[in-house]
Structure 1
């Protein structure tokens, strides 16, 4: 019985990822999620409380993939930028959920690992003068996220500039890594 309920719960989560990525929380429909999961609405409410609870569970799961799924090597911030770009391009649904989260989440999403460990790594690299301290760790990490997601389909601006960005991904990746390198490169010693 436990296996069946866990399998049903997983199907609901998978269907919810698709629904929320496509429609956000306001436009998502529990009926469509239940149908896609081959389940019923009552089980969704039983497992997650309500649509907002399901949305929160999906966000925690998918945002964890984005924040924890791409490690930041202590000595390779540029490599991290390239890896995050690759992740963003390979996971358009996660990027759409992040966009919806920014639009619809009224407060920080509880249960998602913070960026603190990455900020600490950048700060340590700044302390050891491997990364410039001209920008704060928060600015560096946020800028990396912004430029790495500029070309995903859910980013209106990038997709307008190049509707076929996936074909040019290698060129964009190279440019992003180079840009991050210029941003973090320490000033030459006098």
Structure 2
């Protein structure tokens, strides 16, 4: 019987996603990933290399999946706010990407910055956001996109700060909806402020 390589890779990535999300890069154990996947751990080294390379593969897979699940659609400040809201929904539903990104920032930021594939992913994302908000240059689009990512990723993993700052009087669903609305409103306002001013009308042309 032929060995199903793609199925084995998928099982390992699924088990590794759960392990890294829970324990981070340093705390994750390769033997536990292999056991949960039902695969010999030598397959990990064969298909993905070292543990940090497996972490990179997990995060890359999750990010590509999110681009498909939460596309940038429409045009203008309202579209930017809508994208932020849908990304918030996606990340709150699983919290996998926020947790992985925060772990990466704590334990592997330098390797991520040097990863050509990650750089290309983010370049494409910024370009997509520029199409969402015509008139913004790359730096402006990148700054606003970074604001979205920061706001959206933080809430699922900083619940204790939400409790300390805002309190717990609201039902969880109501609090989540209120936070979503605040993020959408913030991004719409920032997007409007970033849009270039329309050219002033020529008074000679405007005169009757």
User: What range is the shorter-chain TM-score in?
Assistant: 0.7 to 0.9
117 and 48 in structure 1: CA distance in 2 versus 1, 3 angstrom threshold: closer
Cα distance per residue 1:110-167 (max 9 Å; x no partner): 423523344334445342xxx7x8x821111111111122320356634654678852
- CA distance in 1: counterparts of 2:100 and 2:184, whole angstroms: 24
- CA distance in 1: counterparts of 2:47 and 2:130, whole angstroms: 41
Which residue in the other structure is 2:151 paired with?
147
1:81 aligns with 2:84: yes
169 and 92 in structure 1: CA distance in 2 versus 1, 3 angstrom threshold: same
Q: Equivalent of 2:192, from 162, 185, 188?
A: 185
Which residue in the other structure is 1:170 paired with?
177
Structure 1 unaligned spans of 5+: none
Instruction: Tell me how far 1:177 sits from its aligned partner.
Output: 0.9
111 and 69 in structure 1: CA distance in 2 versus 1, 3 angstrom threshold: farther
Cα distance per residue 1:72-98 (max 9 Å; x no partner): 224111111111111111121221111
Q: Whose radius of gyration is greater, 1 or 2?
A: 2
1:1-190 mapped onto 2 (5 Å cutoff): 1=1, 4-75=4-75, 76-105=79-108, 106-107=110-111, 108=113, 109-112=115-118, 113-124=120-131, 125-127=133-135, 136-153=140-157, 157-158=161-162, 160-161=164-165, 166-167=172-173, 168-186=175-193
Query: Which one is further off, 47-56 or 24-33?
Result: 47-56
- CA distance in 2: counterparts of 1:16 and 1:177, whole angstroms: 32
Structure 2 unaligned spans of 5+: 201-208
Q: Residue 67 of structure 1 contacts residue 115 of structure 1 at CA under 8 Å; is this kept in 2? A: no
165 and 98 in structure 1: CA distance in 2 versus 1, 3 angstrom threshold: farther
Residues matched between the structures, number? 185
Cα distance per residue 1:33-79 (max 9 Å; x no partner): 11101111112122122212211211211122345542222411111
- CA distance in 2: counterparts of 1:2 and 1:154, whole angstroms: 46
Q: Which runs of 4+ in 1 moved over 4 A?
A: 159-166, 186-190
Q: Residue 91 of structure 2 contacts residue 98 of structure 2 at CA under 8 Å; is this kept in 1? A: yes
110 and 2 in structure 1: CA distance in 2 versus 1, 3 angstrom threshold: farther
Higher helix share: 2
Q: Residue 98 of structure 2 contacts residue 154 of structure 2 at CA under 8 Å; is this kept in 1? A: no
